């Protein structure tokens, strides 16, 4: 899985997809690794109509986001201002981090620094 909970992603396909001028961005609310799907805030919403009930005399609409395929989203790179393919690499102190393959900027650490992978300055 290339995205995690609370990541900001760009949605590439589907009814909610944007374009280069106005990419559709959203926060990942949930990741469903065994289905390779993600739930993105405000994307792929479905509405359920509710009959009036005692608790809710007006009735109304409930909206909720449905999962979309993880391959349809890319992690958002603030430097590129687009969703981008990411790679993984080790920082100088040995922490694993994600980075934008396009511009090379770091997009967050995935692990704590590990001396085993640290680049020695000697």
CB of 75: closest distance to Zn ion in angstroms? 10
Q: Is 103 in the site for Zn ion (CB under 5 A)?
A: yes
Closest approach of Cβ 53 to Zn ion, in Å? 49
Q: Is 107 in the site for Zn ion (CB under 5 A)?
A: no
- On the 0-12 / 13-18 / 19+ scale of CB atoms within 10 A, 10 is buried
How many other CB atoms are found less than 10 A from the CB of residue 35? 10
Q: Distance between CA 14 and CA 70 in Å, rounded?
A: 12
Please tell me whether residue 39 binds Zn ion under the rule CB under 5 A.
Answer: no
Grouping H, G, I as helix, E, B as strand and the rest as coil, residue 40 is: strand
Q: Does 71 bind Zn ion (CB under 5 A)?
A: no
Per CB under 5 A, residues contacting Zn ion are: 77, 79-80, 84, 100, 102-103
């Amino acid at each position: 899985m290339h995205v995690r909970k609370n990541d900001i992603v760009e949605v590439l396909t589907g009814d909610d997809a944007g374009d280069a001028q106005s990419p559709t961005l959203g926060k990942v609310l949930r990741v469903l690794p065994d289905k390779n799907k993600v739930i993105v805030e405000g994307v792929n919403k479905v509405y359920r109509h509710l009959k009036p009930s005692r608790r809710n005399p007006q009735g109304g609409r409930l909206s909720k986001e449905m999962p979309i395929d993880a391959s349809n989203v890319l992690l958002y790179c603030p430097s590129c201002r687009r969703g981008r393919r990411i790679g993984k690499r080790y920082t100088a102190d040995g922490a694993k981090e994600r980075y934008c393959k396009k511009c090379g900027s770091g997009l967050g650490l995935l692990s704590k620094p590990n001396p085993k992978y640290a680049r020695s300055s000697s």
